[in-house]
Amino acid sequence: MRYPLALAASACLLVILGCTTSPPTSTPAAASKAAVSPVPSLAPLVGGKVPAVDPSVHVFLWGNAATTARDLQLARDGGFHWVKQRFEWRNIEGKGKGEFEWNEPDRIVDAILRAGLRIIARVDNQPKWASSSIQWPGSGPPDNPKDWSDFLTALATRYRGRITAYEIWNEPNLDREWGGKKPDPQAYAAMLKSSYQAIKSADPQALVVSAGMSPTTDTSEHAIPDMEYIRQMYADGARGSFDVLGVHAAGYKADPCADPGMVAQSPQLTNFDPSPPDLRRVYAFRHVEDVRALMVEQ
């Protein structure tokens, strides 16, 4: 069975960081008389070439023409081959339906490609005309989902073969990223499905990335923890509507190789968070393994 490209990179990154499984501390029980195949032990990584991920860096080029070349050169100097840049709907189709302003996105796309870098476009934040919300007019979802799909079709058509990947929204498991409304995995799954169809119809080779969720432990009406949200997202039909499963793995104060279970037990590493230990696993970078395990189950 093929799974999305999602999170495969995280496993490679752990190798790069030198994360290894701790050796057993107890003596195995005596073997039975029945013949069994020996289980090889994992030796720690000591050197040599290993499979490497190709990470990206988030850049902020919109409205910053004077520093764009410098920032992209810094990305190249840092060894990056990908950059992630926001392409906010409200900044491109802000005046009205079908009234596109392409000068700034054209400038940014041209500059990134001229620097020899690949683009991950994060798309989010609707224009005021697309929402009847008074308090939250600038963050989604829009009143009419087709307005969003039409925007993505226009964007992917214009930049066909130039923008490599599109990340659909940002942290929709928080109400402040979802128009002030209670986070809704079912509504996001529907958005993701329509986004996938719109982008692929215009640029079949483009990659669609699901939104990275906030690594929150908040279980109030304002937020849904990432594992619960993603599980519900799958239950609501998100499978097959993305090529890459997005994940936000901040890691916070913990060593990047630290076991999430151990991190969850440390008040200092979890900012004295009173949430249950299973929710506190988000304070570890290796929480990405939890998300991948959930993905593989689906």
**Phi/psi of residue 230, each to 5°?**
-65, -40
What pLDDT, on the 0 to 100 scale, is given for residue 3? 38
User: Dihedral, CA atoms, 191, 173, 157, 110, nearest 10 degrees?
Assistant: 180
CB-count exposure of residue 113 (10 Å: 0-12, 13-18, 19+): middle
Inter-CA distances, 240 with 5, 138, 188, 244, 298, Å: 12, 29, 14, 10, 11
Single-letter residue type at 19? C
Look over the chain and give the mean of its residue pLDDT values, rounded to a whole number: 86
Helix axes 226-235, 287-297, angle to 10 degrees: 10
- Split at pLDDT 50, 70, 90, the class of 87 is very high
Q: What is the mean pLDDT of residues 99-123?
A: 99
Structure confidence by residue, pLDDT tens digits, 156-192: 999 999 999 999 999 999 999 999 999 999 999 999 9
Is cis: bond before 141, omega within 30 of 0? yes
Q: Are 85 and 49 in contact (CB under 8 A)?
A: no
Nearest alpha-carbon partner for 122 in 3, 22, 230, 244: 244
- Give the residue extent of every domain in the chain: 82-110+119-248
User: Could you tell me the two tokens for 49?
Assistant: 């070439």
Query: Rounded to the nearest 10 degrees, what angle do helices 287-297 and 8-16 cross at?
Result: 150
* Cα–Cα dist 197/190, whole Å: 11
Structure tokens at 226: 């990432």
Please enumerate in sequence order all residues whose Cβ is within 8 A of that of 90, keeping only pairs 6 or more positions apart, or say none: 125, 126, 127, 128, 138
Task: Determine the topology of domain 82-110+119-248 in CATH.
Answer: TIM Barrel (3.20.20)
What pLDDT, on a 0 to 100 scale, did the predictor assign at position 255?
95
Tell me the whole-structure pTM to 2 decimals: 0.83
At 136, is the pLDDT very low, low, confident or very high (cuts 50, 70, 90)?
A: confident
Span 230-245, pLDDT tens digits: 999 999 999 999 999 9
